[in-house]
C-alpha cells in the first residue's frame, strides 16, 4: 500500500513537472520552433571576468528597458559555441542576438546564417559606420554587406614592468610611458636593456608551450608588418611570403637566443615570471590585464607593439561582435527588441572595457568613462592598426587552423625549426586547409 502511494505521488509529481515544462521549451522542442522564453534571447561565450562584465551590461539594459526581458545563455567557448550557434540557426531555432568573433564571420556570413544588420533597423538607432573603429567595421563587412556590430577590438599587446623599465632607462622623460621604439634594433635593444640594466631574469616572456593561439598571434603580428595574409582567394590559395617568414622567424629566434627570452615556457610560467618582476616585457593579449591587476606590488603598463620588421606598427587583433542569427520567422517586435539590446550593449561598453577590450563604438571610446581607464586608454591605437586572421572558411578564434599553424610556430620559437624549415612546415600546414573543399562558396 505504502509503495503504491509512493508511486502515485511520484507519478503525480512527474506529471506536473512535465506539464509545467510543456508551456515553453518542451513544446517548442517538439514543434521545432524558436523557444519563446524571453523577449531577447542572447547567446554568448563569456565566463570569468568578461562573463561578469557582460552580466552587468545585461542588467543595465534590464534597468533601462523594464518592459523587455533578456535571457542570456553562456556556452562553452570556441568550437562548441560556434557549432551550436550554426546548428541552432540552420535548424530554425536561433537566439535573437549572438556574440561572434569577427575572425569567424566570413564562414557564418557565407553560410547565410546571419541577417544583415541593416535589416534589423540598427541604422535608425544611430548604429552607423562612422561611429565605429574603421578596421573593425571593415572586418564586419563581408562582400559589401555588414553582418555584425563590432563591440570591441582585442589586440595582442606589449606589457611592461614599470619599475624595471625605469631602471633600464626605457621610460620617457615624463615618466608616464615607454620611450618611442621603432624597428627591430630598437626593440631588441629594449629587451636587452630590461635584462642587463633593469636586472630582470628575462628581458621578455610569453606563453609558448601548448599555446598555439598565442604563438600564432605573435607570428601573425610580426609577419603582417612585411607581407599580406598567408592565404588568399577565400583561403584556397597559399600566399606565404618565403622571405617574410624567414625574416620573422629569424627575428623571433634572435629574441630567444642568449637567454633574453625563454623559448620554452608555458602560460603559468610566463604569468609567474611577469607577476614577480622577473621579466621586463610580456607579450600577450590585453584580456590578461584583469589577471595582472590582482597581483600585489606589480606595477605594469600596456602599450601597442611598435613597428618591428615593417615600416608601420601592426596589431594582431580580433573583435567580439553582435550578430542577429538568421530567422525568417522572427517578429518585428522581437527584431526591434534585439536592436535595442545591441544599442544598449554598445552604450555600456565602457563596462566591457574593464576587461581590457577597446570599445569599437566611438562614442564610448571617446567618453570619459573609458578614457579614465588605464592602461586601457594607452593602446587604443592598436584597434586602428588591427590585422585580423586571413579571410577563409577555416580561420578564426579557437579554430583548428590556429592550433595547427601555431603548433609549427611553437617549434620555431623554441628553436627546433630553422627559418627555412619553418617555411616548409607552414606551407604543409596551410596546404592541408587550402586543398580541403570549402563547405560553402565563399566570395
Minimum CB distance to another protein smaller for 112 or for 143: 112
Q: Write down the residue that cell numbers 586547409 correspond to.
A: 433
Q: What is the DSSP letter of 263?
A: S
Q: Is 82 a binder of another protein (CB under 8 A)?
A: yes
Name the grid cell of 86: 550554426
Q: Is 34 a binder of another protein (CB under 8 A)?
A: no
Q: Is 89 a binder of another protein (CB under 8 A)?
A: yes
Q: Is 250 a binder of another protein (CB under 8 A)?
A: no
List helix spans (H) across 102-226. 105-110, 134-139, 162-167, 183-196, 212-224
- Per DSSP, the three-state class of 231 is strand
Segment contacting another protein by CB under 8 A, of 272-280, 307-315, 376-384, 392-400: 392-400
Q: Is 20 a binder of another protein (CB under 8 A)?
A: no
Name the grid cell of 53: 562584465
H or E segment to which residue 203 belongs: strand 202-205
The torsion angles phi and psi of 302, rounded to 5 degrees, stand at -130, 130
Q: Is 48 a binder of another protein (CB under 8 A)?
A: no
Q: Is 272 a binder of another protein (CB under 8 A)?
A: no
Name the grid cell of 269: 610560467
Q: Which of 272, 400, 418, 424 binds another protein (CB under 8 A)?
A: 400
Total Cβ atoms within 10 A of residue 409? 28
- Per DSSP, the three-state class of 11 is helix
Cα-Cα-Cα-Cα torsion 59, 368, 387, 245, nearest 10 degrees, comes to -120
Q: Is 112 a binder of another protein (CB under 8 A)?
A: yes
Are residues 373 and 350 in contact, defined by beta-carbon separation less than 8 angstroms? yes
Q: Is 113 a binder of another protein (CB under 8 A)?
A: yes
β-bridge pairing 97-101 and 145-146: unpaired
Total Cβ atoms within 10 A of residue 22? 11
Tell the smallest beta-carbon distance from residue 398 to another protein (Å). 10
Total Cβ atoms within 10 A of residue 125? 15
Segment contacting another protein by CB under 8 A, of 8-16, 85-93, 123-131, 282-290: 85-93
Q: Which of 24, 79, 179, 196 binds another protein (CB under 8 A)?
A: 79
Q: Is 143 a binder of another protein (CB under 8 A)?
A: no
Q: Which of 26, 86, 162, 240 binds another protein (CB under 8 A)?
A: 86
Segment contacting another protein by CB under 8 A, of 52-60, 84-92, 166-174, 284-292: 84-92
Q: Is 328 a binder of another protein (CB under 8 A)?
A: no
Are residues 114 and 104 in contact, defined by beta-carbon separation less than 8 angstroms? no
Total Cβ atoms within 10 A of residue 99? 22
Q: Is 87 a binder of another protein (CB under 8 A)?
A: yes
Q: What does the alpha-carbon distance between residue 75 and residue 51 come to, in Å, rounded to a whole number?
A: 11
Q: Is 407 a binder of another protein (CB under 8 A)?
A: yes
Minimum CB distance to another protein smaller for 91 or for 173: 91
Distance of CA 53 to the CA centre of its chain: 15
Q: Is 424 a binder of another protein (CB under 8 A)?
A: no
Name the grid cell of 428: 604543409
Minimum CB distance to another protein smaller for 81 or for 283: 81
Q: Is 83 a binder of another protein (CB under 8 A)?
A: yes
Nearest CA to 249 out of 110, 412, 64 is that of: 412
Q: Is 403 a binder of another protein (CB under 8 A)?
A: yes
Minimum CB distance to another protein smaller for 240 or for 440: 440
Q: Which of 28, 34, 111, 418 binds another protein (CB under 8 A)?
A: 111
Minimum CB distance to another protein smaller for 145 or for 378: 145
Q: Catalogue the long-range contacts made by 16-23 (C-beta closer than 8 Å, 24 or more residues apart).
A: none
Segment contacting another protein by CB under 8 A, of 48-56, 87-95, 136-144, 298-306: 87-95
Interface positions, 172-231, toward another protein (CB under 8 A): 210, 212
Number of chain positions touching another protein (CB under 8 A)? 22
Task: By CB under 8 A, name the binding residues for another protein.
Answer: 79, 82-83, 86-87, 89-90, 107, 111-113, 210, 212, 393-394, 400, 403, 407, 436-437, 439-440
Amino acid at each position: 500500500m505504502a509503495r503504491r502511494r509512493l508511486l502515485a505521488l511520484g507519478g503525480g509529481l512527474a506529471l506536473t513537472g512535465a506539464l509545467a515544462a510543456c508551456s515553453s521549451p518542451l513544446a517548442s522542442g517538439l514543434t521545432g520552433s524558436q523557444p519563446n522564453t524571453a523577449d531577447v534571447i542572447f547567446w554568448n561565450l563569456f565566463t570569468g571576468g568578461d562573463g561578469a562584465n557582460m552580466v552587468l551590461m545585461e542588467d543595465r539594459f534590464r534597468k533601462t528597458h523594464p518592459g523587455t526581458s533578456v535571457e542570456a545563455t553562456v556556452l562553452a567557448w570556441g568550437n562548441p559555441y560556434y557549432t551550436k550557434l550554426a546548428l541552432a540557426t540552420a535548424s530554425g531555432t536561433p537566439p535573437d542576438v549572438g556574440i561572434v568573433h569577427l575572425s569567424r564571420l566570413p564562414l557564418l556570413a557565407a553560410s547565410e546564417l546571419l541577417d544583415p544588420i541593416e535589416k534589423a533597423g540598427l541604422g535608425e538607432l544611430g548604429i552607423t559606420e562612422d561611429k565605429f573603429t574603421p578596421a573593425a567595421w571593415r572586418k564586419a563587412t563581408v562582400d559589401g554587406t555588414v553582418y555584425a556590430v563590432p563591440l570591441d577590438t582585442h589586440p595582442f599587446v606589449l606589457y611592461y614592468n614599470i619599475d624595471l623599465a625605469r631602471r633600464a632607462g626605457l621610460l620617457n622623460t615624463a615618466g608616464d610611458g615607454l620611450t618611442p621604439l621603432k624597428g627591430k634594433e630598437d626593440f631588441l635593444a629594449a629587451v636587452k636593456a630590461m635584462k642587463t640594466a633593469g636586472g630582470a631574469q628575462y628581458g621578455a616572456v610569453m606563453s609558448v608551450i601548448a599555446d598555439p593561439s598565442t604563438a600564432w598571434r605573435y607570428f601573425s603580428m610580426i609577419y603582417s608588418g612585411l607581407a599580406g595574409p598567408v592565404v588568399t582567394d577565400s583561403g584556397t590559395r597559399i600566399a606565404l611570403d618565403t622571405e617574410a617568414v624567414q625574416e620573422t622567424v629569424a627575428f623571433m629566434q634572435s629574441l630567444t637566443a642568449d637567454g633574453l627570452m625563454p623559448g620554452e615556457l608555458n602560460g603559468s610560467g610566463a604569468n609567474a615570471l611577469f607577476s614577480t618582476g622577473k621579466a621586463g616585457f610580456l607579450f600577450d593579449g590585453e584580456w590578461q590585464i584583469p589577471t595582472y591587476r590582482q597581483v600585489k606590488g606589480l606595477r605594469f603598463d600596456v602599450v601597442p607593439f611598435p613597428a618591428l620588421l615593417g615600416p608601420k606598427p601592426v596589431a594582431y587583433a580580433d573583435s567580439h561582435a553582435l550578430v542577429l542569427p538568421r530567422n525568417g520567422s522572427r517578429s518585428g517586435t522581437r527584431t526591434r527588441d534585439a536592436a535595442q539590446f545591441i544599442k544598449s550593449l554598445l552604450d555600456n561598453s565602457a563596462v566591457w572595457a574593464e576587461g581590457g577590450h577597446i570599445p569599437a563604438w566611438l562614442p564610448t571610446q571617446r567618453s570619459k568613462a573609458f578614457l579614465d581607464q588605464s592602461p586601457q586608454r594607452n593602446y587604443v591605437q592598436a584597434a586602428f592598426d588591427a590585422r585580423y586572421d586571413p579571410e577563409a572558411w577555416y580561420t578564426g578564434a579557437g579554430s583548428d587552423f590556429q592550433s595547427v599553424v601555431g603548433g609549427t610556430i611553437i617549434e620555431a620559437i623554441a628553436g627546433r625549426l630553422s627559418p627555412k624549415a619553418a617555411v616548409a612546415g607552414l606551407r604543409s600546414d596551410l596546404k592541408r586547409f587550402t586543398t580541403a573543399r570549402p563547405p560553402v562558396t565563399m566570395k
